[in-house]
Amino acid sequence: MEKDENTTHFGFKTVDSADKERLVAGVFDSVAAKYDIMNDVLSMGIHRLWKRQTIDSSGVRPGHKVLDLAGGTGDLTARFSRIVGAAGEVVLADINAAMLNVGRTKLHDMGVVGNVSYVQANAEKLPFPDDYFDCITIAFGLRNVTDKDAALRSMLRVLKPGGRLLVLEFSKPESDWLSKIYDFYSFHFLPRAGELIAQDKESYQYLAESIRMHPDQETLKGMMETAGFAQVDYQNMSGGIVALHRGYKF
């Protein structure tokens, strides 16, 4: 997907790799305050079912350590906090300070305290010890990472042997007719909704483009295997609009 080591994609644009982190930060600084509202509107609430399936596939149990990477406003963190209990730990990590602050405020208001910590972190260079987490999730965040291969290797490093990674991300629809409907939705309705609700058409135009530039199901599966994950598989949801990839560290 990347053109060379010095350039990368920002939506449909080719930019210097060194600039992408700043450009993505600008998008999420802009959308953070309305992020949850827009998720519900744009997915018609279905994102909650996708995330529930991720939780159900995680194998997380009381006492586990979980990293919710690119965790944004903390939907997964809130659920994991209840599962791991007082003996467990959940780290909500995001590279974007605005998203992390929204997540911290939201979870505090929900009464989610005690076993949750908040870390601003780059997925490519995770600031955690080797073999630390039982489970890592990254939901709708990998496509915004500049060097996805480096991020996958970083995730593998901080997972315990036997631990699992779950990548929930927009992907490639399984049928041509669904692709056509989804293209119309993505490039007409999504930016328009962003303009009307979040007063930010450009950011939602980028988000639509970033979905199209993200690796498809089989390509991402291969990337995870190359990074060192074992028994990698994926489950298509909503006709392949979203896919949940799973891999293990052995």
Binding residue numbers for S-adenosyl-L-methionine: 73, 94, 122-123
| Alpha-carbon distances of 215 from 127, 219, 224, 242, rounded to whole Å | 26, 6, 11, 12
Closest C-alpha to 208, from 137, 123, 144 = 144
Binding site, annotated residues: 73, 94, 122-123
Q: Taking the alpha carbons of 106, 65, 244, 5 in that order, is the dihedral positive or negative?
A: positive
Closest C-alpha to 241, from 183, 170, 168, 177 = 170
Beta-carbon count within 10 A of 227 CB: 20
Residue 8 is classified by DSSP as E
Residues 6 or more apart whose Cβ sits within 8 Å of residue 123: 69, 70, 95, 138, 141, 142, 145, 151, 154, 155
Residue 68 and residue 91: Cα distance in Å, rounded?
Answer: 6
Beta-carbon count within 10 A of 150 CB: 15
